[in-house]
Amino acid sequence: MREAQEFIHRLGRWSVPQRFRPNLRVYFAKAGLQPIPYWLFGILLIASVASTVAFYALIVNTIFSLGPLWGVGLTVAYFPLSNALFYAFIVGASAFYLNLRIYRRRKDIEEHLPDMLQLVSANLKGGLPFDKALWNAIRPEFGLLADEMATVSKKVMTGYDLKDALAEFAQKYESPTVRRTMNIIRGQLGSGGKISWIIDQVVENLRKTRELKQELSANTMSFVIFIAAIVLVIAPLLFALSFNLLNILLDVSGDIIPQIREARESGASQLPEIPEPSVNLEDFKTFSFLALGVISVFAAMIISIIQRGDILGGIKYIPFFAGISISLYFFFLNSLQGLLNFA
C-alpha cells in the first residue's frame, strides 16, 4: 500500500513541470492544501489514462472498420490526443472545485473578521501588546480565521516579524477587504499610532459595509423573484406548451399530407408536394432538458451577481433551479397532455 502511494506521488510530481510549482504552491495554499498534493495529480493522470483506454475499447471496432491503415493511423493519433483532452477535462473539473473551495474560505474569513478585530481592540485597550492581543482574541467560533491568526501568532512567537506575518496572511486570500484591513493595521504598527482606535474604525466600516450589502440585496429582491419565476415556472410552462403544440401539428400534418398526395395523384388538386415533417418529439424533449439546465445555470449566476456581487456564490443554487424547473416541466407536460386528451 505504501509503495503504491509513493508511486502515485512520484507520478504526480513528474507530471507537474518545475516552473509551475511555485504558482501551484500559492494556489493550493489558498485552498488550504499544503504542501502541494502531488498524489492528486498522479490520480488525475491515472484517471485520464483509464478513461482513454475505456473509451478506445468502445470505438476500436468502428475505427478498424475503416480499414487496417486507417485503424492504425487513428489509433496512433488517438491515444496522445485523447489522453490530453481527458486530462485537461479532469484537471479543469478539479480546478473548478478548488476555486469554489477558495471562494468559501475567503467568505468565511470576511464574515468573522469584524468580530475578531473587536476582540483584538478590547485586548489592546486592556494594556496587552498587539501580538498578545491577537493571540488572546482567537476563538473556536471564528473557524478558519482563528486557524489563520493562530498561524500568524505562532510565526511571531518564533521570531517572525509581525508585519510580515500579517502581509503573508493578507496575500493568501484574494480579498480586497482583508488586504485593506491588514495594510491599515500594518501601517499603524509601523507609525506607532493609537492602533485600538484605528481598529475600532475599521470594524465600524466593515459592519457598515455588510449592512449596506444586505440592504442592496433586499432592494434587488424583486429582480431575483422575477428571474426565479422565469426559470422555475415560465420557462418549463412554455417548453411544455411548445411540445404539445408540436404534437398537435404533427398529428394534423399526418392526417392532411396523405389526403393531399391522394388528390395530387388523382389529378384533382394542383397543390405542391408537402414533405413529411422531420421534427422528432423525443429530440425536442431532450432539447428542452438541456435548455432548462443552461437557463438554470445562468440564472443562478445572475442572481448571485445581483445579491452578492460575484458569480461563484450562485453555484449552490444550480441544483435547486435545475431540479425544480425540470420537475415542473414534467408536471406541465403531463397536465397539458391530459387536458388536450380530455378535450
Q: What confidence score (pLDDT) does residue 126 get?
A: 79
pLDDT at 108 over 60: yes
pTM of the model: 0.62
Residue with cell 458569480: 311
- What's the first-to-final CA gap in the chain, in angstroms? 68
Residue 173 CB partners (closer than 8 Å, separation 6+):
30, 102, 105, 106, 109, 179
CA 235, chain centre distance (Å) = 23
pLDDT at 99 over 60: yes
Q: What confidence score (pLDDT) does residue 255 get?
A: 64
Q: How far, in Å, CA of 147 to CA of 140, rounded?
A: 8
Amino acid at 41: F
* Residue 32 grid coordinates: 488550504
* Residue 53 grid coordinates: 483506454
Q: What confidence score (pLDDT) does residue 89 get?
A: 77
Q: Where are the alpha helices (DSSP H) in 35-175?
A: 38-64, 68-125, 130-136, 144-157, 162-172
Is the model more confident about 255 or about 289?
289
Q: What confidence score (pLDDT) does residue 192 get?
A: 54
Q: What confidence score (pLDDT) does residue 276 get?
A: 62
Is the model more confident about 8 or about 167?
167
Q: What is the mean pLDDT of residues 321-332?
A: 86
Provide φ and ψ at 169, rounded to 5°. -65, -40
Q: What is the mean pLDDT of residues 89-105?
A: 79
Q: What confidence score (pLDDT) does residue 262 get?
A: 63
Task: Render pLDDT for 173-196 as a digit per residue (tens, 0 to 9).
Answer: 777 888 888 888 887 776 555 777
Nearest to 308 by CA among 210, 168, 202, 226: 210
Buried b / exposed e across 204-230, counting CB within 10 Å, b at 16+?
eebeeeeeeeeeeeeeeeeebeebbee
Buried b / exposed e across 75-97, counting CB within 10 Å, b at 16+?
eeebeeebbeebbeebbeeeeee
- Whole-number percent of the chain with pLDDT over 90: 0
For residue 272, what is the DSSP state? Answer: P
Q: What is the DSSP string of 34-62?
A: -S--HHHHHHHHHHHHHHHHHHHHHHHHH
**pLDDT band for position 152 (cuts 50, 70, 90):** confident
Q: What confidence score (pLDDT) does residue 261 get?
A: 61
Task: Render pLDDT for 229-285 as a digit per residue (tens, 0 to 9).
Answer: 888 888 889 988 888 888 887 777 666 666 666 665 665 555 555 566 666 778 888
pLDDT at 83 over 60: yes
Q: How far, in Å, CA of 152 to CA of 144, rounded?
A: 13
